[in-house]
A and B are shown apart, each in its own frame.
Chain A
Amino acid sequence: MPIQYRSEVVSSRRAGQYHVLTLTAGSITETTKPGHFLGVAIGGDESGLLLRRAFSIHGVQERGVFGGTVDIVVAAHGAGTRWLVGRHRADPLDIIGPLGRPFSLPRDPVSCALVGGGYGSAPLFMLAEHLRARGCRVDMVLGAGTEEKLFGVLEAKRMASTVTITTDDGTLGEAGRVTDALGRVMDQHDTDVVYACGPMGMLAAVAGIASERGVYSQCAVEESMACGVGVCMTCVLPVIGDDGLTRMVRSCVEGPVFRGDRVRWAEVGTIPPDTLGAPDLDGGSR
């Protein structure tokens, strides 16, 4: 159950092109699971930027000098994230969390491949910890455009049985994309489940590679969100339900984690014609 919390910045430190912010989070930490995200209000009570920004929860510390704290990894992108990376220790921040539906964990000690693109690796370390605690094997594949945009390489090496790095420009690891390496990693380690977080294009490709091998995948998507709590219907994408019907589903409450084989990746950004309630072919757009 999400809680709105008047948080304070405990610390902000650089990590490559990103900032890792540690925030007081009170009891938010008690219910946070890997894959949950935070909604962070931008610019204070009078701000003209009204919409909260979503950030995957990177880590939680349940007890410490500051009580419970959470970490988020922020890439400065537009006005909101630029404001956020400019926050300092003791600055107030209004946060809501934990939001969304987290990754689901396997019951048995299976072999898992965790794939992160750019800051998309942020939620994977907490996930790796939980998987390891269940006796699962964890192999990580991290990729980014360039070395500076990789997040958590050292942390990955501490946690995973193997770590494969790719960069588009070859500045670290193999030159290429995570999806170039994923098939090989899966074959080498008999992967049973793939977990992924990153840009939509990467997720689509990862889900495809997993499906080709008959492997179950869980993908955390990143859709533009206005409310983050399920009331506005901006964050939808076409997802096939248990009944085989495609619906426009809210990624903030029914996601951000979806089964890779259930998202109609190629049609994200459209209303597939067989979606429940899709416009009549003669009716045009409504």
Chain B
Amino acid sequence: MTRAVVRPAEALAPQVHDEVDMSTHLAGLDLPSPVLTASGCAAAGRELDQFFDLTRIGAVVTKSIMPEPRSGRATPRMAETPSGMLNSIGLQGPGIASFIERDLAWLHQRGARAVVSIAGDTVDDYARLAKILRMQEGISAIEVNISCPNVEDRGKVFACDAGSSSAVIQAVRRNTDSRVPILAKLSPDVTDITTIALACVRAGADGLSVINTLLGMVIDTDRLRPALAGVTGGLSGPAIRPVAVRCVWQIRQVMPEVPILGMGGIRTGLDALQFVLAGANAVSVGTMVFNDPSAPLRVHHELQTALAERGFTRLIDAISYAHGYLDREHPASDPVEDDVEAATEEP
């Protein structure tokens, strides 16, 4: 497959700011770019490679894969909503064996970094997937999608329960090469996201992906019934961005060091910058890919420009920067505190 050269993302940015170092660290991974795709919004990368060079972004996060092939839910599977959409795909996929043979092999051969997202119905499903992936070379990280109903707990979503979340993360950690980082992907549909975040980190997650979709619903007023065949669906897109930024912020407040992959409605470089300033070490671009298939690379360039305009020379200096706002605006009288808060220095 060759690539379209029309409208390279560079052409959109007013100026290229190569002087800003965009590399980042995410849970032990060194990435040349902080912008990744989001699970379920990029398939396994192949289609998007027609629109931009996949090797230039941080990584491709693949669609959550399950042990066996899965047909997904009936259609309609989506409904457009103000600045967003609802989806109820139901994790349609070919199963792990076919994924490894076709998709992972392709990503590897293409030279793109792959973050493999896994999903299961039971804790054992996750353990099985981790075991199978252990034999595979070239996986940058495993993202554990715990926003799935636990069939052993009357369909309660793993991510909504600290105990179930820990059980899944432990099972994956135990069966994964210690050199491969695992990211727990959190649901915002919880009373206190920091509780689940802490539970996942204690269970062995090397980092957190924040956030998955919010459960939503649309009623079709012509047909007088739910718009989606699956009745409810996951809300994504710019509509959820403030919720996502809040989640990243809250987790960063509680865990100053935990690696965070932030996502939820990122459309532009400035949106990505909000996540970085709130504490994200890297970001995923999901739904906006449907609007603009080259969005991940475009967001990378726009973020680079935005950082340059704010005087940052390295992306990593901007991570969590907004958390220091009080100290910057009202410097503490106690000089000892100033030393501790090194971020009071202007970039």
Contact = CB atoms under 8 A, between A and B. Distances in A.
Given A26-B6, A271-B73, A232 B292 contact: no
A231 B237 contact: no
Nearest to A273: B71
B6 A4 contact: yes
A234 B71 contact: no
Contact of A237 (B48, B75, B93, B293): B75
B263 interface: no
Contact of B72 (A26, A48, A51, A233): A233
Interface in B275-301: 287-294
B71 A226 contact: no
Interface centre among A48, A228, A237, A253 (most CB of B within 10 A): A48
B7 A5 contact: yes
Interface string B299-328: 000000000000000000000000000000
> Size class of A's contact patch?
35 or more
A50 B69 contact: no
Interface stretch (A106-114, A128-136, A257-265, A274-282): A274-282
Given A277-B69, A286-B121, A227 B289 contact: yes
Given A52-B290, A229-B47, A269 B85 contact: no
A1 interface: yes
Given A224-B75, A234-B75, A234-B77, A50 B4 contact: no
Nearest to A286: B90
A188 interface: no
A286 to B, nearest CB: 6
Contact of B71 (A49, A94, A278): A278
Interface string B64-80: 00001111111111101
B74 A41 contact: no
A98 to B, nearest CB: 12
A108 B93 CA distance: 38
A1 B80 contact: no
Instruction: Give the dominant DSSP class at A's interface.
Output: loop
A232 B41 contact: yes
B208 interface: no
Contacts of A276: 69, 71
Contact of B229 (A94, A226, A235, A269): A269
A196 to B, nearest CB: 20
A86 interface: no
Interface in A222-258: 223-224, 226-237, 247-248, 253
A201 interface: no
B28 interface: no
B15 interface: no
**Most chain B CB neighbours (cut-off 10 Å) among A2, A237, A286:** A286
Contact of A286 (B75, B80, B84, B149): B149
B138 interface: no
B95 interface: yes
A50 B288 contact: yes
B27 interface: no
B89 interface: yes
Contact of A233 (B6, B7, B92): B92
Interface of B: 1-2, 4, 6-7, 40-43, 47-48, 50-51, 63, 68-78, 80, 82-85, 87, 89-93, 95, 121, 149, 151, 229-230, 237-238, 287-294
26 contacts: A4-B51, A26-B6, A41-B292, A48-B238, A50-B84, A50-B237, A50-B238, A50-B290, A94-B292, A96-B293, A226-B78, A226-B85, A227-B290, A229-B51, A231-B290, A231-B293, A233-B43, A234-B76, A234-B78, A234-B89, A271-B71, A277-B69, A277-B71, A279-B71, A285-B230, A286-B70
Given A49-B80, A50-B238, 20 more contacts: A4-B4, A4-B7, A4-B292, A41-B291, A50-B80, A50-B84, A94-B292, A226-B85, A226-B290, A227-B289, A229-B47, A229-B48, A231-B47, A232-B40, A233-B89, A235-B75, A268-B75, A277-B68, A278-B71, A285-B90
Interface of A: 1-6, 26-27, 41, 48-52, 94, 96, 223-224, 226-237, 247-248, 253, 268-271, 275-279, 283, 285-286
